[in-house]
Amino acid sequence: MAQKVSLAVVSDAGRTAIATAVSYLVARAAGMPEAYWAPIITAVVIQSKLGAALQISLDRLIGTVLGAALGGLLASLFSPSWWLFGIGVFMLGLISGVANVPNSFRFSAMTLAIIELVPRGYAPWKIAIHRSVEVTIGIAVGVVITAIWQDRPGPVTEKSPAS
């Protein structure tokens, strides 16, 4: 049995589609070699209400910067290895705890994995910078679109023809 698609579902789909496409275009225009990271992050941010989007965006940004900085440093100084990656994740956990930003830890660990464990043909510090820029673009577009195009509070109802 087919179900009607509500206006809220159509609005959310449109908002997400526009936001992710815009973030991809901005990342491409900025010359990012892996521009697909921007819309991935935008999709995470845009699915939240504005207050939640701001918090997850801050956590994501802090985590990305921490993971990128440590990943760029470790990958520049040492060859990639599982044990070095494990030590890096442990260090990020400690840093996140001491800095009192525990929700950024999972994001920093993901960024570290992307920088340290994925082989690429260019310098690790460039990867770290690119990842930070791509994530920042994704966050910025997601937050701006969420602020401009917010979900309606409560259920969406349609007026009957008689009203």
Plot region of 154 (φ>0 → left; ψ -120 to 50 → alpha; else → beta): left
Q: What is the mean pLDDT of the chain?
A: 86
pLDDT digits (tens, 9 = 90+) for 89-146: 999 999 999 999 888 999 999 999 988 888 778 888 898 999 999 999 999 999 999 8
| Model pTM score | 0.77
Instruction: Judge whether residue 20 has pLDDT over 90.
Output: yes
Distance in angstroms (rounded) separating the CA atoms of residues 75 and 86: 13
Whole-number Å distance between alpha carbons of 39 and 138? 6
